[in-house]
Amino acid sequence: MNENKTLIAYATKSGVTEENANIIAKILENQYEFEVDLINLKKNPKPDLSQYKNIIIGSGIRIARWYGKVNKFLKNNFKDKNVAIFLSSGKAGDPESYDDAITKYIDKKLTKNPHIKPIATEAFGGRYADMDYTDPEKVKAWAQELGNKIRK
């Protein structure tokens, strides 16, 4: 396992999680010199995790659920790895419902998956019909926090 090797594994339907995965990858590569692989779980649902010390997992939310490919990916054994999780959700983009999104989509999921002990979690705004709650600056700031945390 290589301390520098970082996997960003994600699933997206409307594209926001992929955009955010790309933003996070650029920050970690350019500012923290991590070696980052981006994997769309729809194309590669079972990547070999053995080489990665850092695993960042991204999902969109629809009908209050994480995408199925990510749910399956969460069943992996992440022992001795740094895991971080980010979501894209309509609710998370609205300050009035942000806390509710964290409770319903992140806290609940982690209670159900006690084998996952992430070092960081965040929910970013999504895109839905003509509403756009995306916030690339927030994503960049989170990626920097993460970089600082996992840097040797």
Ligand X SMILES: Cc1cc2nc3c(=O)[nH]c(=O)nc-3n(C[C@H](O)[C@H](O)[C@H](O)COP(=O)(O)O)c2cc1C
Applying CB under 6 A, the residues found at the interface with ligand X are 12-17, 60-64, 88-91, 101, 126-128
Q: Give min distance, CB of 56 to ligand X, in A.
A: 14
Q: Which is nearer to ligand X, 10 or 32 (CB)?
A: 10
State in Å, rounded, how far the first CA of the chain is from the last one.
Answer: 14
Least gap, CB of 33 to ligand X (angstroms): 27
As beta bridge partners, residue 120 has: 84
Beta carbons within 10 angstroms of residue 135's beta carbon: 15
Q: Kindly tell me which of 8 and 150 has the beta carbon lying closer to ligand X.
A: 8
Nearer to ligand X, 24 or 150 (CB): 24
With respect to ligand X, which residue has the nearer C-beta, 70 or 116? 70
* Minimum distance of ligand X from residue 119's CB (angstroms): 22
CB 122 → ligand X: shortest distance, Å?
14
**CA nearest neighbour of 59 among 145, 115, 3, 118:** 118
